[in-house]
Structure 1
Amino acid sequence: MYWNIQRILNKELKYVTKRYVCKSYIHLELYRYNSTLNKPPPQYSLLKMMLEEPKTVGPAILSVIFSSGVLLAFPRTLGRLLNDLDTLNLAKCIGLVSLAATASFFKTISATIAMERIATRLRTTTFNSLLRKDSVFFDKTHSTDLANLLSSDITIASSAIHHICTAIRMSITSVFGAGLALYFSPPSLFAVILTPATLGLCLVVIYGRYARKLTRYKAECLGSAIQYAQERLSSIKIVKAFNAQNIEEVNFKRKITDMYMLSRKVALAAGINDALSVAFIGFSVLLISHLSASTVANGIMNIGDISSLLLYTVMSGGGTQGFITSMGNLQNCLGAASRVLEHLHDKELAMIPVPHIITPSGILFDNVKFAYPTRPKKEVLGGLTLNIPAGAKVAIMGKSGSGKSTIIQLLMKLYVPTSGEIYIDGKRIDQIPDDVLRSQISWISQEYPAFSTSIRQNITYPLDTAQENDLQKAYRLSGLTSFIDNLPQRDLTFVGEGGRSLSGGERQRINLARLFLNSRNILALDEPTASLDNQLELEIVKSLKMISNRTVLLITHRTALIDAVDFVITLTSG
């Protein structure tokens, strides 16, 4: 039963606030649905991010505009100094250089701080969004891609502020430099002065898209190579066991070579672009200098005016080239931003929980069918009906692949059944908010993962601290006491990346200790003793027998655990 409290609609976002009122819990949650058809372009999202940092982005842009104006005044002042050789113009030149340097100082500081603030906010928002993705997303997405998203992609996207500042400076110097050059030059030099800008625009059309496409392909090749290396290094023992080092060396070299060949093409395109730009600017300056010599000889212009003209010409050509480069870099930023925003605009669920209490009286699977989204044609559960009374201890046995672990993952709403319903305390779990449901289930998976922290932090996860008495009890129930006592740093010992410094049995006992410490109304144990010896397994059986007032689901192949349960269910092909 629920009431709609508020509904706000616009073209891109729909917010629906619902208040669920049931017998055993009250929960307020905020659903946010984003239209996949009307995603804002990445340039708008980047602009919005920068507008949210007015105290740093504003000074950076103002400093760029100010320093550009100072630089535009410098050639004319220098020309007057060469004409008159007076101390006033010398002082003006020194002052202009000092002002430009000071403005550049403030621009760099402001832009860098803005970039880091944008990156910090993006990383936080993206990580929070990833935490709320469903299990299907992680089945289809490699962890390396997500790590690159949080590191390099966000760094590139947030650097857009630097490239925007550069583009503003270059566009100002290019446009006004060309205008001032035209102002100070005789009509015969108009066409020569406009040549660098015209040819620069041609470069944008010819090489811009080509270079961006090559850069994108290079990034994809690099990501593939890094992902390959990470997978092999994380499974280095398997590689060594099969003497596959030489094979892996060849395969990795092939991937890196492909990236290198693309890098050569990128370098060639960039080299041609830069060479043509420099050649156009250089030859234009040379041609202007040659034509200007006759104007000086004829008394039409003096040496100071010629110097100003040449500086404005170089400024215009260099500004055009810099603007082209900045726009190319901005395209890379937009590409990275689109990859980041792609995950932020997916449909997701944001919850605002309030205190709740739920006491399950039993678990019911009613004709549940399920196939993993990555294997939609292979049905894992084909109409499962299962009724587990409250407080019962049930062992689920069966062949590998029969769907035993899937039952727990469906119960925790890590996946959604293809058809059928699942109930807890007579309530459909699709009507129970995820955090409410999962706060009532303690689960250990058969992979028994470990975080790269200490033993204590692994066991107390997700809490920061725990009562010492509760910790010692969890150690005792999981058979960890003697193991921890023999360590120099006891439970503060660092376990290494993924718990590599621990054996499989030690990692499994750490996961058991976490379950006993966070003992909830439903305990779901997936192969809890698969890596333990017989003596430790008997200790775990004793610990499970001591559990009361809990519903226990035990997935196992080990017959020794049957002594700890009330019922045994054998599953055959779902």
Structure 2
Amino acid sequence: MSSSINSVESEAPNEGASNSDEIGKTSQEQDKAKGNRLSVLLELSPFVRPYKKTLIAALFALLLTASASLAIGHAVRLLIDQGFVGGSLEELNQAIYFLIAIISVIAFGTFIRFYLVSWLGERVCADIRTKVFDHLLTLEPNFFETNRSGEIMSRLTTDTSLLENIIGSSLSMALRNSLTFIGGLLMLLLTNFKLSLIVLSAVPLILIPLLVFGRRVRTLSRSSQDRIADMGTYAGEAIEHIKTVQSFGQENYERKAFATEVENAFKVARKRIKHRALLIAAVILFVFGAISGMLWVGGYDVLQGKMSGGDLGAFVFYAVMVASAVATLSEVFGELQRAAGAAERLVELINVEPKISTNSEPNNSLAEPARQLEFKSLNFSYPSRPDQKALDNFSLNIPAGQAVALVGPSGAGKSTVFELVQRFYDPESGELTLSGINLRELGPQQLREHMALVPQQPALFTASVAHNIAYGNLEASEAEIIAAAKAAHAHDFIMALPQGYQTELGEKGAQLSGGQRQRVAIARAILKDPDILLLDEATSALDAESEYHVQAALNELMKNRTTLIIAHRLATITHADNIVVMDQGKIVAQGRHEELLDSSPLYKRLAELQFNK
């Protein structure tokens, strides 16, 4: 979808849009920032540290299998020189027994290593996912308004899955083949120094493709992950707005647009695969070319009697082992480059600092119940519009227990007031207090425990009706959930559902009508039993009869509670204790309904548009 579909009445998301905190930077920018370093993987070491015993055990198994693998070369020498050439059946049997023993050790060590390393990969990536998700919950809503959900989900799922493969497989292969390379190289030098020099002559040639193609693979890996995120974001948005897509008959357009996103991701992946293939091919060419040269020289020395066939066999075995290790390392190097790109994306997400300061310790001076709100000369502008004030010298006192309604044209700043009350933003200047305490001194969680919001477009989860109502108080009993539903006039339609309160509602409560979703949201707020109610035109989606019953329930709920109401329909707030008329972030009038009809031209005009139809 080319753009998000937002409600025309929703102010805050539009006002709050800002690109200053975008995490989706280009791969070129990220590589410049990180200097094309694999060391970014070390930033994930805190997740591995708690399992150091498992890591040590895996490394021990790794050393065991690597050492046993190197011992096979000695078994080959014995097999050829004493078994085949010597013609001794007894020594042949001993060499075979020795070989079988080594293979058994390798099998046992491989089992231990594979299990421990795979377990470690799964465990660490599970911890990373938990850490990232926990951190996301601390970020203010503005972060999610300015960063695509598909991009965030790609980092939480795809990138962690990639790291899981690296930690649980590729990293183990890298360590194992590094040990094999070092041990095999040492055995080559001990077996025949001259032939070893021929094999080592390929090392400088191997480093060239590693340096040339490795950096490019990492850049393309980062870009590939970004394109996958783009593709997921597009598909998710189209599916989310499927009714709009189908009602406007744009299925073919969306098919072509999504196909374009898929092709863009494929093109980047194809480049990445090409460079990795070139890297592996170059390494194999140089390594096994050097082995071929070594075989010619070694074969000549055997014919000349300068070395035994067993020595040449053992040397060939070690040479092939070293060559295979180098080839595998070159392939793993490409995987590590790709993992570095994924690690960068995750580290960026973890390092995003919340803009709303939090207090770890609750403020014990907050009175119970906390009901009085006071706005003192507030000034606030959204990050994307620093020169345009959303609230301008806004002052308002809301005594405990009163119902105050905010009215005014779209963009007047009504939703901004709600945003500041819940500390989704902090004001640039002025003070907002709850029972005399500045909201900046309260942690967001402690503050919001005293509030309940019923939005214009209620958010329901893919779960049962009971769970959605109980979201206001997860410890509530079944009887309390039913009582809240009855108070919101939702019990009857809930009982008519196939499984009653245990009916699964589907994504975003798709099985319910707009009015039914609204009443479930009201029941959720009733169950929370808050000190302060925030109602964003809470009855807007109801028919006349339901509105009457729910308004009666709300009137009962509002007793002895401070209530702040955003109202577009003036008929719902005529009995409010105070009606605040807003325009361009300022209070232009306030009073009772009858008073404002006489004193406020703006309110009178709004009333005439609605009541004189």
- Do both share a fold (TM > 0.5)? yes
Match of residue 16 from structure 2: none
Q: Return closer, same or farther for 1:369/1:444 CA change in 2, 3 Å cut-off.
A: same
* Letter of the structure 1 residue corresponding to residue 563 of structure 2: V
More strand by share: 1
Distance 1:156 1:484 in 2: 43
Partner of 1:128: 134
Aligned-pair CA distance for 1:564: 4.7
Query: How many angstroms apart in 2 are the aligned matches of 1:232 and 1:302?
Result: 71
- Rounded to whole Å, the distance in 2 between the matches of 1:352 and 1:150 is 29
Structure 2 contact 170–332 (Cα < 8 Å) conserved? yes
Deviations 1:389-433 (A, max 9, x none): 211112221112211122112111111112221122222221223
Q: Which residue of 1 aligns with 2:360?
A: 351
Corresponding residue for 1:3? Answer: none
Deviation track 1:501-541 (CA, whole Å, cap 9, x = no partner) reads 22222211111111111121111111101111111111122
Counterpart residue number, 1:119 = 125
The answer to whether 1:559 aligns with 2:566 is no
Checking the alignment, whether the CA contact within 8 Å between 1:63 and 1:103 is kept in structure 2 is yes
Q: Is the 8 A contact 2:283 2:330 kept in 1?
A: no
Partner SS state of residue 541, structure 2: coil
> Is 2:154 the partner of 1:148?
yes
- Equivalent residue for 2:77? 79
- The residue number in structure 2 matching 1:23 is none
In 1, Cα distance between the equivalents of 2:513 and 2:193?
Answer: 83
Partner of residue 309, structure 1 = 315
Aligned-pair CA distance for 1:559: 2.7
Q: What letter matches 2:221 in structure 1?
A: T
Q: 1:282 to 1:300 in 2, by over 3 A?
A: same
CA distance in 1, matches of 2:351, 2:214: 29
SS in structure 2 opposite 1:450?
A: coil
Cα distance change of structure 1 residues 112 and 357 upon mapping to structure 2, 3 Å threshold: farther
Partner residue of 1:454 out of 464, 469, 480: 464
Distance 1:165 1:195, change over 3 A: same
- Name the TM-score, length of structure 2 as normaliser: 0.83
Aligned residue pairs, count: 536
Quote the offset at 1:71 in angstroms: 0.7
2:214 corresponds to 1:208:
yes
1:108-157 per-position Cα deviation (integer Å, ceiling 9, x unaligned): 10011111221222222222211111222222222222222222222333
**Is 2:98 the partner of 1:100?**
no
Please say if residues 567 and 573 of structure 2, whose CA atoms lie closer than 8 Å, have aligned partners that are also in contact.
no
Within 2, Cα distance between the matches of 1:300 and 1:499? 83
SS at match of 1:351: coil
Partner in structure 2 of residue 412 of structure 1: 422
CA RMSD for the aligned pairs?
2.2
- The answer to whether the aligner puts 1:387 opposite 2:385 as a matched pair is no
Contact 2:217 2:338 in 1 (8 A): no
Deviation of 1:440 (Å):
1.0
Residues of 1 paired with 2:499 and 2:475: CA distance? Answer: 18
How much has 1:160 moved relative to structure 2?
A: 4.1
Q: Unpaired segments of 5 or more residues in structure 1? A: 1-36
Deviant stretches of 4+, over 6 Å? none
Partner of 1:452, secondary structure, is: coil
CA distance in 1, matches of 2:270, 2:336: 22
Q: Does 1:192 align with 2:192?
A: no
The amino acid of 2:444's aligned partner reads: D
* 1:92 CA drift (Å): 0.8
Determine the structure 2 residue equivalent to 1:18.
none
Cα pair 1:393 1:554 within 8 Å, conserved: yes
**Equivalences for residues 150-299 of structure 1 within 5 A:** 150-161=156-167, 162-185=169-192, 187=194, 189-299=195-305
Contact 1:545–1:564 (Cα < 8 Å) also in 2 = no
The 8 Å contact of residues 208 and 328 in structure 1, kept in 2 or not, is answered as yes
Mapping for residues 35-114 of structure 1, pairs under 5 Å: 42-85=40-83, 86-114=92-120
Change (3 A) 1:503 1:195: farther
Distance in 1 of aligned mates of 2:128 and 2:242:
34
CA distance in 1, matches of 2:57, 2:232: 39
- CA positional deviation for 1:361: 4.9
C-alpha displacement of 1:357: 4.9
Cα offset for 1:472?
A: 2.7
Which whole-Å CA distance do the structure 2 matches of 1:488 and 1:190 have between them?
77
How far does residue 41 in structure 1 lie from its aligned partner after superposition?
6.4
Residues 382 and 517 (structure 1), Cα distance of their counterparts in 2 relative to 1, 3 Å cut? same
What is residue 581 of structure 2 aligned with on the other side? 570
**Conserved 8 A contact 1:523-1:553:** yes
Question: What is the distance in 1 between the residues matched to 2:462 and 2:367?
Answer: 33
Question: SS state of the match for residue 235, structure 2?
Answer: helix
